[in-house]
């Protein structure tokens, strides 16, 4: 059974069909990319998986569980974490606090215990902290641990957001343009990290990305979208050489 | 500059980051405990007033500074705490039960108010909470059999296990009671900040969409923030009732709500220190003004609107030049001394932004 299975998903905003009868499935342990020109509906697919948008029609199954029956905040509990295209960090908090919010779905202490900072809260905090420190180590964020997000450069924020998603201990990681706005070196780092996330942590990755270098470097399979519908699916090389994909990106040859 | 060598995760969970800070706050506590001996009754009453405002400030800070929900209705919750405490005691409950219960009832009431209010953001939420504040006045008059309506109420002297605390004849005892409530409220606030729920509040404040994606249930978190905030505010209200000695439907007016909100902005949004510093400004400003006018040969007649005017001016100056409040300014001064002579003007430039409480949507 596929880890994430989307069948006949359709979403309309008024008269605009953002996603049209789209079906695809992601297997456990693979890195899967969605590519396509601007406005193809890539982020919309993400927002449907996160339950921010309710699809007009279609089926969403994560590990056999119907995603459409859960609230947006319960999606994290199933083990789906995500990043955002325009970084959505908690600006007035430190990197450490941001990553610790990532552990929120593992919270077991009650409000009363927290008001008195009961021993159980302390024990739990230590566990959260340990998990977060592993992420900090993995992403080389030690130097920024106690820095406020508001003062950090863009490239670091991007990494912190990835870290926050990892801290929640997901099974499926949704990365919305992980390399947008990053320098060549930072993109290279991101590539190794995505590779390691899959290999070391065993997390399945679904990403939206424009950087074809990154996509062909780390992805097993690629889905190309245009106008909310599937154009092609296959290995990066197959999709890149597909005439329909080339047409969608470059237009038909008038020569 | 003090450098902290952290050797365990527990280091970040401590109440005080290092021994020096613990000593400073320990010394402060000793001074606070000795105050009844050191000060005369008038100044002790003023300090008590500061602490009561600080408790109310902590309540609103939890909501506005921590969770980003502006409220101009907190006078209503002060009133709720004050009246419920008095009524519970009149029903025969002892103070040690009635007082905490008054806070809890106010908190529950706050959560009920929150259910419609949490759907609103920014300025709309502020407007909705103003309505709560305005309504409180009328509700108190309507519920005259319980609240005494326009003629008001006089709280009975506090009795804790046979130990009587009368606000006028025993200001020292009343001061200690207020101090105890202040310490408990501050500890609750501090504990929350180092626990998951406090971080969830900050998450809701800074980005609702990513808080949701991380498993934070936004309406529930906001309702809890409202509830806890109103609980602490309710305690402040009950103490205010005792401090004033009498209260009626006009005691907890909209002006009190506005003062409370301005207080935490001047003190510094999002910090415990801010609530206390703001409270000191609010409580001492009238005294300082009357002393100043006396100094310039004032006839002892109060100039109408002077207090409001000066208060407004202070607020405007802070918003323009120091949005992080008195506490933010203090942090800069401290850093300057700690780094002397290496502090640079540009060090804080990146942080020169308003605390994003709630984007207007």
Between CA A253 and CA B13 the distance in angstroms is 64
Answer yes or no: is pLDDT of B242 > 50. yes
Low-confidence ranges of chain A (pLDDT < 50): none
Give the pLDDT confidence score for residue B100 in this predicted structure: 97
Residue B167, token pair as written in the block = 């606000």
Collect all residues with Cβ–Cβ distance below 8 Å to B265 and sequence separation of at least 6. B278, B315, B318, B319, B325
Give the pLDDT confidence score for residue B352 in this predicted structure: 43
Contact A100, B199 (CB under 8 A): yes
Q: Give the Å distances, CA to CA, from A210 to A39, A157, A178, B102, B154.
A: 12, 19, 9, 58, 71
CATH superfamily, domain at A1-79+170-255: P-loop containing nucleotide triphosphate hydrolases (3.40.50.300)
Give the pLDDT confidence score for residue A35 in this predicted structure: 93
Question: Which 3 state secondary structure label does DSSP give A254?
Answer: coil
Q: Of B10-24, B121-135, B190-204, where does the model show the most confidence?
A: B190-204
Q: How confident is the model at residue B296 (pLDDT cuts 50, 70, 90)?
A: confident
CA A97 remoteness from chain centre = 20
Task: Give the pLDDT mean for B198-218.
Answer: 94
Q: Select from B188, B217, B351 the Cβ nearest to the Cβ of A150.
A: B351
Question: Which 3 state secondary structure label does DSSP give A175?
Answer: strand
Domains in chain B, start-ordered, CATH in brackets? Answer: 17-264 (1.10.3470)
Q: How confident is the model at residue B12 (pLDDT cuts 50, 70, 90)?
A: confident
Between CA B81 and CA B100 the distance in angstroms is 10
How many C-beta neighbours within 10 Å does residue A91 have? 20
Say if A145 is an interface residue toward chain B (CB within 8 Å): no
Task: Give the pLDDT mean for B298-320.
Answer: 81
Q: How confident is the model at residue B196 (pLDDT cuts 50, 70, 90)?
A: very high
Q: Which residues in B have their CB inside 8 Å of a CB on A?
A: 9-10, 12-13, 188, 191-192, 194-200, 202-203, 205-207, 209-218, 224, 228, 270, 350-351, 353, 355-356
Q: Which of B194, B156, B144 is nearest to B17 (CA)?
A: B194
Among B4-13, B181-190, B274-283, whose mean pLDDT is lowest?
A: B4-13
Give the pLDDT confidence score for residue A230 in this predicted structure: 92
Alpha helices in chain B (DSSP H): 19-38, 41-61, 74-90, 95-117, 122-142, 144-147, 171-193, 196-206, 208-213, 218-244, 254-267, 272-295, 306-321, 325-339
Say if A75 is an interface residue toward chain B (CB within 8 Å): yes
**Cα distance from B350 to chain A (closest Cα, Å)?**
6
Q: Which of A138, A192, A185 is nearest to A166 (CA)?
A: A138
Task: Give the pLDDT mean for B156-178.
Answer: 90
H/E stretch holding A62 reads strand A57-62
Between CA B217 and CA B228 the distance in angstroms is 17
Answer yes or no: is pLDDT of B1 > 70. no
Say if A157 is an interface residue toward chain B (CB within 8 Å): no
Answer yes or no: is pLDDT of B334 > 70. yes
Averaged pLDDT of chain B: 89
Burial call B5-20: b when 16+ CB within 10 Å, e when fewer: eeeebeebbeeeeeee
Q: How confident is the model at residue B298 (pLDDT cuts 50, 70, 90)?
A: low
ipTM: 0.91
Answer yes or no: is pLDDT of B321 > 80. yes
> What is the DSSP pairing of strand A4-13 with strand A57-62?
antiparallel
Give the pLDDT confidence score for residue B353 in this predicted structure: 47
Give the pLDDT confidence score for residue B293 in this predicted structure: 82
Among B140-149, B176-185, B271-280, whose mean pLDDT is lowest?
A: B140-149
Q: Which of A91, A149, B211 is nearest to A141 (CA)?
A: A149
Q: How confident is the model at residue B324 (pLDDT cuts 50, 70, 90)?
A: confident
**Cα distance from B31 to chain A (closest Cα, Å)?**
25
Between CA A6 and CA A20 the distance in angstroms is 12
Q: Select from B13, B215, B228 the Cβ nearest to the Cβ of A105.
A: B215
Q: Half-sphere exposure of A245 toward its Cβ, with a 13 Å CA cutoff?
A: 19
Contact A208, A42 (CB under 8 A): yes
Between CA A98 and CA B205 the distance in angstroms is 12
Contact B160, A78 (CB under 8 A): no
Give the pLDDT confidence score for residue A254 in this predicted structure: 56
B153 phi and psi, to 5 degrees? -140, 155
Contact A104 B13 (CB under 8 A): no
Q: Which of B232, B240, B234, B203 is nearest to B218 (CA)?
A: B203
Q: Which of B92, B232, B96 is nearest to B165 (CA)?
A: B96
Task: Give the pLDDT mean for B38-64.
Answer: 95
Give the pLDDT confidence score for residue A247 in this predicted structure: 86
Percent of chain B topping pLDDT 70: 94
Q: How confident is the model at residue B139 (pLDDT cuts 50, 70, 90)?
A: very high
Q: Give the Å distances, CA to CA, from B287 to A166, B48, B276, B292.
A: 55, 14, 17, 9
Q: Chain B: residue nearest A165 by CA?
A: B214
Contact A114 B191 (CB under 8 A): yes
Domain ranges within chain A, ordered by starting residue: 1-79+170-255, 88-169
* Torsion of Cα atoms, B284 then B286 then B289 then B290, to 10°: -120
Among A119-123, A202-206, B7-11, B109-113, whose mean pLDDT is lowest?
A: B7-11
Among A190-199, B84-93, B205-214, B309-318, whose mean pLDDT is lowest?
A: B309-318
Contacts of B349 in chain A (CB under 8 A): none
Burial of B21 (0-12, 13-18, 19+ CB in 10 A): middle
Task: Give the pLDDT mean for B214-242.
Answer: 96
Residue B25, token pair as written in the block = 């706050």
Say if A90 is an interface residue toward chain B (CB within 8 Å): yes
Residue with the bigger pLDDT between B305 and B360: it is B305
> What is the DSSP pairing of strand A172-176 with strand A204-208?
parallel
How many C-beta neighbours within 10 Å does residue B245 have? 10
Contact A104 B213 (CB under 8 A): no
Contact B147, B140 (CB under 8 A): yes
Q: How confident is the model at residue B299 (pLDDT cuts 50, 70, 90)?
A: low
């Amino acid at each position: 059974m596929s880890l994430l299975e989307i069948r006949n998903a359709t979403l309309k905003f008024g008269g605009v069909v953002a996603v049209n009868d789209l079906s695809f499935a992601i297997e456990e342990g693979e890195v899967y990319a969605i590519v396509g020109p601007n406005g193809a509906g890539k982020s919309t697919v993400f927002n449907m998986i996160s339950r921010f948008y309710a699809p007009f029609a279609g089926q969403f199954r994560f590990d056999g569980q119907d995603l459409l029956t859960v609230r947006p905040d319960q999606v994290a509990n199933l083990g789906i974490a995500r990043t955002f295209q325009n970084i959505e960090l908690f600006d007035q908090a430190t990197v450490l606090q941001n990553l610790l919010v990532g552990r929120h779905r593992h919270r077991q202490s009650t409000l009363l215990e927290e008001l008195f900072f009961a021993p159980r809260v302390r024990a739990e905090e230590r566990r959260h902290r340990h998990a977060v420190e592993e992420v900090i180590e993995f992403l080389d964020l030690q130097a920024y641990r106690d820095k406020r997000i508001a003062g950090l450069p863009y490239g670091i924020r991007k990494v912190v957001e990835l870290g926050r998603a990892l801290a929640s201990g997901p099974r499926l990681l949704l990365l919305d343009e992980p390399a947008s706005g990053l320098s060549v070196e930072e993109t290279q780092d991101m590539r190794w990290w995505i590779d390691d996330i899959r290999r070391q942590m065993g997390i399945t990755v679904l990403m939206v990305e424009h950087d074809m270098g990154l996509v062909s470097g780390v992805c097993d399979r690629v889905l190309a979208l245009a106008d909310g519908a599937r154009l092609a699916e296959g290995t990066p090389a197959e999709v890149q050489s597909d005439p329909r994909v080339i047409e969608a990106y470059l237009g038909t040859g008038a020569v | 500059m003090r450098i902290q060598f952290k050797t365990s995760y527990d280091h970040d969970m401590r109440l005080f980051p290092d021994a020096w800070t613990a000593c400073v706050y320990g010394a402060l506590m000793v001074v606070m405990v000795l105050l009844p001996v050191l000060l005369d009754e008038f100044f002790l009453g003023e300090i008590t007033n500061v602490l009561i405002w600080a408790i109310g400030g902590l309540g609103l800070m939890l909501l506005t500074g921590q969770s980003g929900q502006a409220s101009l209705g907190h006078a209503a919750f002060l009133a709720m705490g004050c009246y419920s405490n008095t009524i519970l005691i009149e029903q025969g409950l002892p103070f040690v039960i009635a007082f905490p219960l008054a806070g809890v009832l106010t908190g529950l009431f706050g959560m009920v108010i929150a259910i419609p209010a949490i759907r609103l953001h920014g300025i709309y939420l502020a407007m909705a909470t103003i309505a709560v504040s305005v309504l409180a006045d009328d509700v108190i008059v309507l519920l005259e059999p319980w609240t005494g309506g326009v003629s008001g109420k006089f709280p009975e002297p506090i009795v804790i296990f046979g130990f009587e605390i009368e606000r006028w004849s025993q200001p020292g005892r009343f001061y200690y009671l207020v101090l105890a409530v202040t310490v408990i409220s501050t500890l609750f606030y501090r504990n929350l900040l180092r626990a998951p729920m406090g971080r969830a509040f900050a998450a809701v404040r800074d980005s609702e969409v990513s808080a949701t994606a991380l498993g934070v249930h936004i309406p529930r978190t906001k309702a809890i923030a409202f509830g806890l905030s109103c609980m602490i505010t309710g305690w402040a209200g009950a103490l205010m009732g005792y401090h004033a000695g009498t209260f009626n439907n006009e005691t907890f007016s909209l002006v009190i709500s506005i003062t409370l909100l301005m207080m935490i902005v001047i003190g510094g949004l999002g910090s415990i220190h801010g609530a206390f510093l703001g409270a000191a400004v609010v409580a001492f400003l009238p005294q300082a003004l009357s002393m100043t006018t006396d100094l310039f040969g004032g006839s002892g007649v109060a100039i109408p609107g002077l207090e409001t005017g000066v208060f407004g001016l202070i607020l405007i100056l802070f918003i323009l030049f120091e949005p992080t409040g008195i506490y933010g300014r203090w942090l800069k001064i401290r850093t300057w001394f700690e780094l002397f002579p290496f502090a640079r003007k540009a060090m804080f430039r990146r942080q020169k932004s308003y605390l994003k409480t709630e984007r207007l949507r």
